[in-house]
Structure 1
Amino acid sequence: MQGKGFRMHRSRRSAIPLSTLLFLLVGLPLLAQETQATRGKKPEPCTEAKRLIWEGLYHRVNPDEKKALYAEAVRICPAFASAHNLLGAIHARKGMFDKAQEEFETAIRLNPQFASPRYNLGVLFELRGDKARAIKAYETALKISPTHLGAQRRLSLLTGMPFTDRTPPQALYDRSLLQLERIVHQNPDSAQAHFDLAEAYATRGRYRDAIAQYREVIDRQPDHAEAHYKLALLYLNHTRMLGGAQVEHRILEELDPVLAEQLARAIHAREKDDGYLAAVEKMARDFFSRGEEAYERSAYEEALQHLRNTLLYDKDHPEARFLMGLVYTRLGKSREALQEYESLKPIDREKAEKLYQQISHP
């Protein structure tokens, strides 16, 4: 998902002292560029709506909890385009396509230059089998935000055209990955296809995409023990999920489109101005460091649920039991941790140490 366009020509930027630029960016309120309608509302409810969105994006893992927060944000600040967009995404995931489309279209009406709901609308059309409207939605999203990777990828899959005119950085979409994505596109109900794609995403460090695909596996095959286990591992390794400006950009653009656009442009033109990139990246890191502790606890609790499911469908899974003990220890639940350790079957010491390292440490 991409933020709205924000033009800043090189010649102008070089004329502005860095200290002034930093002040302007840091001083901007969250979603300052949202819409005139949002600005016209009383500040109290819309400020609270932004807090709810932050809570849902960054502090909550469970989809039902996210939905409640986004719905409340829409209720108290109806002109908040990002809230409508996020609520629509939750509706779509639950199969409520009519409600999802209504929310996406509301977000677009409130902010016509917001690429994210147009991309989401394209995905929705695709799910409904309306290829022509999906292509049009992706093309519109790319006109607004030419660097929107999601829209580029979906458009490539639908049209068969090359993903990009030039080689993507770090071979982000190598041929093998694109082939797996095509297999999923052609076999959307195949749990194995989604699992293979999730494994590929995880290997390439695209942890949020991997999580989404493991969830698709579980939606289709709830007793897939290995998908539950791999999902738990990703939640436990929360610093990887939060690391990297490109990964954080998806969330950042929902909260502060101006800063998100600055970051995207700085990354794109890093060879021209490394100092500018470093300054904007630092602001993004500072922005995200505020909620890491709360997200960590939420991720641990979600991981526990998937570890329980792993053991429910595969009782002889010592790695899952070992990790449950570690997570209970981290959450301060020593009694539960002891119970897991006492019931643990023999496990290779080297494997245990490797698993231990997969849980981030402060």
Structure 2
Amino acid sequence: MPVKRILYLWGLVVLLLASACAGEEANRERMVNLSEVKDDEEAQLKNLDAAILQSKRDGSLYARRAVVLLRKGELEKALDDANNAVRLTKNEPYTLFVKAQVLRALNRQEEALPLALQAERNSYQSSSLYVLLGELYLQRNDYKQAKLYLDKAQDLSPKDAYAFYYRGRVQEATGDTARAVRNYKLALEQQPNFMQPHRELVGILVNRGEYAAALPYLKAAEKLDPEEGRLWYYKGLLYQGEQRQDSALYSFNKAVALNDTLSGAHYRLGMAAYTQGNNSLALEHLEKVYRKYKREPKYLSTIAGAYERNGQYIKALQTYQDLVDVEPRYTYGYQAISRLKYKLTRPVPDSIAVYRTNIEQ
């Protein structure tokens, strides 16, 4: 059986790619950095296209082509091939694994997880499968299961950079940032051009106020992926910590342009716009992050103020009521509620009567 390569290329840069080898190594894979892959992908596709024309019932050929397409980022085509591979191989575990990777790349994690678990039940053992399962459980905030699978990955491959990285993610999510930093650095020892550990180290160090220590990781990550939204967000936090407000706002705007789901960047842009008196822009950003910040008094006070300044009195009243529910000691909230109730219930002058009075006079 020919040796196949395995690749991870999660998000924009890293997605998991895998293959099986012969003999003792049949269920072991080697991580390969995308930038180090020398194979001509177009030549691979051309050869696989020809092979599939000759043998349309060979599911392993579809699985191999799905891996190449996944590496190229042609995800819908990769999914078509993965579906054919699963159908023709009758749920052979490696093809289930390939399909799970494609679904994960398509952000269809809920579909990817059962397939990856089925591959495991069907006796597919590989560090890459266990890393995939660890990452999928991490996304579900099931940190215990995520750690279990990452432990399995490192049992098979003790120097697996991705296992170190996701172990760090689990530790960071559970508040153990000291161990997270250690695992991110271990990941970089194995694979210096792995952007995500650089990025996560920037985030942790900036949050600690260790701006000088964060800078080398920031520069390294920028070289690897200058269009990574969360990295621009962390860069904005660094500038904000250094009191470079214009640079911070530029970075936050760049961050949301690249990734509109970055709630922290929207929050800071909204707060800055409110301070500058741009209430419409403030609301544009603050309304996007209501679910995340709806229990924070400062956020509620600011968005309520923006609604009131913008003449949206009913929304302002509702938000001030939310504010005093969250923080009953917020006296300004009660004053704002009284003020808005008066504005909303005061009698409207009879303009016709006023007009007639003026005429009579």
> TM exceeds 0.5?
no
Q: TM-score, normalised by structure 2?
A: 0.40
Q: TM-score, normalised by structure 1?
A: 0.40
Q: Which has the larger radius of gyration?
A: 2
